[in-house]
Amino acid sequence: MSAFENLALGDVVAERTVQLTRESLVRYAGASGDFNPIHYRDDVAAEVGLPGVLAHGMLTMGLSVETIVPWLGDSGRILEYGVRFTRPVVVDPASGAEVSIVAKVGAVEDGAARIDLTVSSGGTTVLGKAQVRVRTA
């Protein structure tokens, strides 16, 4: 029996918590080429009115969808993915930031399912309408 045969609305298919550090942000900046100083300099973040150094939105988005890949068994099953950036992830210089992801079945269609991701940090939802459509057949 495959992991996709008896999917029901509300089933939690994956969850995890990721610890981000300032080092994580530097590594992501190098990999992505996004060296905006709001992602590594407190003084620049403060100058533009931010509450602190922020994680890259695309880093948060990527970590979130990657949560379901072990359950899927193949990232090629992802048909569509979209989010709304609702709140920033502030990464403290000492303690970093925890990002929690819970993936639940939001809809089941013929041969596909919609997985709704609840993504939060510090008790606040940071991605809105985070939905992944996946092939189940």
For the chain, give the percent of residues with pLDDT over 70. Answer: 99
**Other beta carbons within 10 Å of 6:** 9
Architecture of domain 12-19+56-135: Roll (3.10)
- pLDDT tens figures, 44-84: 999 999 999 999 999 999 999 999 999 999 999 999 999 99
- pLDDT tens figures, 90-100: 999 999 999 99
Residues β-bridged to residue 85: 127
Residues β-bridged to residue 130: 117
Q: What is the distance between the alpha carbons of residues 128 and 54, in angstroms, rounded to a whole number?
A: 17
Structure token pair of residue 105 = 């079945």
DSSP assigned state of 96: B
Confidence at 23, pLDDT banded by 50, 70, 90: very high
- How is the chain split into domains, by residue range? 12-19+56-135
Q: Is 114 helix (H, G, I), strand (E, B) or coil?
A: strand
Q: What is the distance between the alpha carbons of residues 80 and 88, in angstroms, rounded to a whole number?
A: 23
Mean pLDDT, the chain, as a whole number?
96
pTM of the predicted model as reported, rounded to 2 decimal places:
0.93
CA angle 25, 88, 68 (to 5 degrees): 70
Q: What is the distance between the alpha carbons of residues 67 and 44, in angstroms, rounded to a whole number?
A: 31
Confidence at 119, pLDDT banded by 50, 70, 90: very high
